[in-house]
Amino acid sequence: MNENPLANLDKETQQKIQEMQILEQNFQQLMMQKQAFSMENNETENALNQLEKAKGDVFKIVGNIVIKSTNAELQKELNHKKELLELRLKNIEKQESGFVEKLESLRKEILDKIQPKK
């Protein structure tokens, strides 16, 4: 009869599985942050492209108020915002590769424990 290899796991393996589940949840949250920052970065890039085409007065929204601004000032603000977003995205990508390495390592350790030896 085939026995379920997960039924009689030692405590260490159970802890590794739990750690892997927590890491996967944190990884998912990180990916959601990455997606949000990527979308905001794309929106900022689109705003910069539109600003380059703008002729005449330009405006920005601050809270619930529309404020008149100069094209150069808005470009400076948007470029600064874009730089910050790109730095955050690079940081997230470094964290992402750390998560992937740790998850792969844990996955291998767990599989080595639960797969029958040949």
Per-residue pLDDT of the chain (118 residues; tens, 9 = 90+): 456 556 677 888 889 999 999 999 999 999 999 999 999 999 999 999 999 999 888 999 989 999 999 999 999 999 999 999 999 999 999 999 999 999 999 999 988 888 866 6
Q: Where are the domains of the chain?
A: 12-37+70-118
DSSP 34: H
d(CA 23, CA 36): 20
The rounded distance, in Å, linking the Cα atoms of 19 and 21 is 5
Per-residue DSSP letter, 60: E
Residue 115: per-residue pLDDT: 80
Question: For residue 1, what pLDDT is reported?
Answer: 46
In the chain, the N- to C-terminal Cα span, in Å, equals 18
46 neighbors 82 (Cβ within 8 angstroms): no
